[in-house]
Amino acid sequence: MEKRWKLNKGEPLQTEALQKALGIHPVICDLLVQRGITTYQEAKSFFRPDLNELHDPWLMKDMDKAVNRIIAAMEGQEKILVFGDYDVDGTTAVSSMFRFLKKIHPALDYYIPHRYREGYGVSKAGIDFAIENGFTLIISLDCGIKSVELVRYAKENKIDFIVCDHHLPDDELPPAVAILNPKQKDCPYPYKELCGCGVGFKLMAALGEKLHLPDHFLYEDIDLLATAIAADIVPINGENRILAYQGLKKANENPNNGIKALSFLSGLNDTLHIHNLVFMIAPRVNAAGRMDDARKAVEMFIADSYEEALGFAKMLHSDNTDRKEADSSITNEALAIIREKEEWVHRNTTVVYQSHWHKGVVGIVASRLIEHFYRPTVVLTQSGSYAAGSARSVPGFNLYEAIHACREHLLGYGGHFAAAGMTLATENIEAFRNKFEEVVSATIDPCLLIPEIEIDAVIGFEDINWPLYNIIKQMEPFGPANLQPQFMVCNVMDTGHSKIVKEDHIRFVLSNNKITFTGIGFGMAKKFDLLQTKKPLDIVFKIDENDWNGQKSLQLKMVDFRLHAS
């Protein structure tokens, strides 16, 4: 699949001024300017993320109401229920809040809705559980901002709600005693990109300050917060960068028993990085809710001993194995269905349906299909007497608006710019497929159907050295708004020693300005013939560290390559 290359550039005068202030490689200064860092002080804060630079939690709207209501519940010995969603953000938020409150208030329990029996967010079954068991205060985390009727139902049954959420609010807000959400229009809190666990953290910070609790109460589970930040794909800048940085530090020095157990089962023996949380820890936590019951994830995180956490981690590990098998088989089946119908291959959308596919992995499968056919994708399966599924978009295209335009064929839908879910009658699938294709074809910019590679800087092989790499390492943790830098080198020659390894990968040996570097290109074997032309190449890559037999060297982690544009 051919890709578009886009070169990002910082403002030259700002880059020059920052280079004078810092005295480091101008390429690094250009990378910083691209990330909005233009002064010495901003650079210092970026490279040395400090908990003391977190914003005052009392700046968040309704924080005083939330703290006062919890203190009243403690003084009145009321039962508090901590309620959260079944994904990583929700389960880490519930675990952190539960462990924090348990130290100061024993009349406490938690509730995680079942993905298939109750659905996303606050559920009637959860409120009925609270009614039946005498709870008078519910703290919802990572959900609740849209649950107007359910919060009203709780209020009618003498249960108060504190909503901690980060999703965009509607015009009508739930009748909660306090709503903590920095995305509220009139909330003065300066940082708007906290995840659900992050909003819960700010509530714990304010409560801890009011009750004069020791700092370690608040920071004990900051590694769970780092996991939520990594998994929820929120920007890793501002407060999120501080929290992710410090949370990773905690995960490596003294991890939560659950993270320690999952790291062991994942075979992680080295330093934990943000990508380990994203690709190894988070999928195992998510698998509990996808394949079975997410309560196991919370039980693992709140376990008092490593042995107890390991027992639950093994269950999550098993769920993840089942998830991967379902993901792989359904993806292969879906690809076969698409390729059998030649007219589908050339469409601008994909809509596939099979009644036996597992509902818990259809969203993952939609993302997998986009890797093969780069276009808005919907994967549907049977759910009761209806079809239900998940949709994923390509960057830059508003998927929610496209699905909204097809609403005449749907029973229900919801979502946002990049992802959505829906239900429809099975007899309407074909009509929806055709309408979705029509809407997307009429509204999408054709260039969005070609994957884009963002390039941060053009350099030469002479620029690649350990001092440069060591500074790039200090830019971690990487993620949205601070992606690992990708570089381009032009006019590179293959030395003749590059070769295909393990059938699908290329081991590169390349030369530029009389300097040679090796590199690895995963899944690039189909483009090997370009190397055999013996013509100059332009390459895009990340700088990586290779450790072989105790010998460390720098190598290129290839992203793409093409013939040199002369």
3-class DSSP assignment, residue 234: coil
DSSP 283-298: HHHHHHHHHS-THHHH
Same domain (yes/no): 73, 192: yes
Rounded to whole angstroms, how far apart are CA atoms 446 and 400? 18
- Residue closest to 83 by CA, chosen among 129, 141, 131: 141
Same domain (yes/no): 388, 519: no
Same domain (yes/no): 74, 12: no
Q: Domain for residue 309, yes or no?
A: no
Same domain (yes/no): 462, 414: no
Which pLDDT tens digit goes with each residue over 245-282? 999 999 999 999 999 999 999 998 888 999 999 989 99
Confidence label for 415 from pLDDT (cuts 50, 70 and 90): confident
Give residue 232's domain range: 57-248
Element (H, E) at 413: strand 412-415
Same domain (yes/no): 346, 432: yes
Same domain (yes/no): 96, 224: yes
Same domain (yes/no): 433, 478: no
Same domain (yes/no): 21, 72: no
Same domain (yes/no): 155, 14: no
Predicted pLDDT at 545: 92
CATH of the domain at 77: 3.90.1640.30
pTM, two decimals, is 0.92
Predicted pLDDT at 32: 95
Q: Domain for residue 312, yes or no?
A: no
Residue 507, strand partner residues: 499, 520
Same domain (yes/no): 488, 536: yes
Which pLDDT tens digit goes with each residue over 199-218? 999 999 999 999 999 999 99
The b/e string for 181-216 (b: 16+ C-beta within 10 A; e otherwise) is bbbbeebebebebbbbbbbbbbbbbbbbebeebeee
Predicted pLDDT at 150: 97
pLDDT at residue 326 above 90?
yes
Mean pLDDT of 461-488: 95
pLDDT at residue 12 above 80?
yes
Q: Domain for residue 334, yes or no?
A: no
Same domain (yes/no): 19, 104: no
CATH of the domain at 421: 3.10.310.30
The b/e string for 236-251 (b: 16+ C-beta within 10 A; e otherwise) is bbbbbbbbbbbbbebb
Element (H, E) at 136: strand 135-141
How many domains, the chain? 3
Q: Enumerate residues 6+ apart whose C-beta is below 8 A from 343.
A: none
